[in-house]
Amino acid sequence: MIDTFRVGPFAMRYGHFVPRLYNYCRSLGFERQRMLPSRAFCSDESQGYPVMLLAQHFGTFPFDHGRVGGKVAINRHGPYAHHGEDLVMIQASHVGYDPDDGRFGVYQRHRTEGCRFGDCCGKLGAVLHWYQDEHAHACRQVQCGRLGGEPVFQIDNQYLDENRHEGLFLRLDRMVGTPLQPLKVLSTSKIFRASLAMRERLGENGFGETLAPIGPALSPDLFHFRRAPAAGAEEHDILETALGPVMPQLVTSPHPALDAARFVTQAEFDRTYRSILREPAFATKNVLFVSGVNIDVSPREAYPFPFTKFVPWAAYARLRDGRSFLLEQEQLVETLRRMPGENPDCLSFDQTIERMTTAPEIRLPAG
């Protein structure tokens, strides 16, 4: 599923995406003075530039529709619908990118001592790290080699305990030959005959004369995770629960943070689409919901903001005249690229702030 979300060919600068989105809304019949955008973004400061552009082009600050990790707060649909008539919802998970070395998931914090690189989405990084550590440990503690010339796996006893509350659990039926009886019992591990499927997969060279860690050969189909979600003030488990089904794919991915952001966006579009279908507060409104991933490229020297790109995934429109339709990724990108890149209604922040500053004073009653 994750691989169906393409990135490179469809990414566009936010400065190009937002005016095209605005013009697309106008082409659907949305009125300038009735449009209200909402954004379901993470709370990181790197998401500020996209919010500024939305305010500049739509002429109003977007309603906050987001929770940790770019999840949509669908319980806010009602209040949001009461604030506008033509509603434009933008959901985006986000991931950092360092163009100098091609790394996804990192972002340079220019306001820190030494301008350090770190996780772009700290919440996502915190969720991933536990699973990555578990997988790395298993890659060392599960070993393959030969015993008496026969291909075998030496498996740490930890991974043979199915009663553990959490951790990485091997799919022994795919790794070990039947019956699941050890050929040899050691003090902290057991040695099993390798299954025919694993012999074919790893080949003769995969089982050396001496035991060696299985390493990257511990692929997603050979294990799953179990972990009790830990709820807290920041509701850490919301994102962790969402990513749980694909965590084996994420920890073995060359770009885990990117794949996590893509998966969250895919899942959130599906979930939010269904919530819109059932939301009575939207019945008399124009609604456009657009979902994608924000790629945060760290600010370069002399530039104050990140070079954020938006990668569209899908869109759903439900209009007051009865029309409704979905746009899949290619169709959505083509539609946006056909729109004019200039917005004649775009605000000038300098002029607007000057007008607000010099406007007649409003006196508040004493007391």
d(CA 64, CA 120): 20
Contact 238, 229 (CB under 8 A): no
pLDDT at 231 over 80: no
For residue range 287-296, what is the model confidence (pLDDT) as tens digits?
999 999 999 9
Ranges 237-246, 307-316, 321-330: which has the least confidence: 237-246
User: What pLDDT band is residue 110 in, cutting at 50, 70 and 90?
Assistant: low
State both tokens at 29: 């019949």
Q: Of the ranges 22-26, 123-127, 240-244, which one carries the lowest mean pLDDT score? A: 123-127
- Quick check: 247 pLDDT over 80? yes
What percentage of the chain carries pLDDT values higher than 70?
96
Tokens of 314: 């899908």
Handedness of CA 279, 282, 288, 294 (dihedral sign): negative
The percent of residues in the chain predicted with pLDDT above 90, rounded, is 77
pLDDT number for residue 193 = 98
Report the C-alpha gap between 190 and 90 in whole angstroms: 52
Q: What residues are paired with 325 via a beta bridge?
A: 317
pLDDT tens figures, 260-271:
999 999 999 999
pLDDT of residue 233: 45
pTM (whole model) above 0.95: no
Integer-rounded Cα radius of gyration of the chain = 26
CA atoms of 70 and 293, how far apart (whole Å): 9
Domain ranges of the chain: 2-105+255-358, 127-250
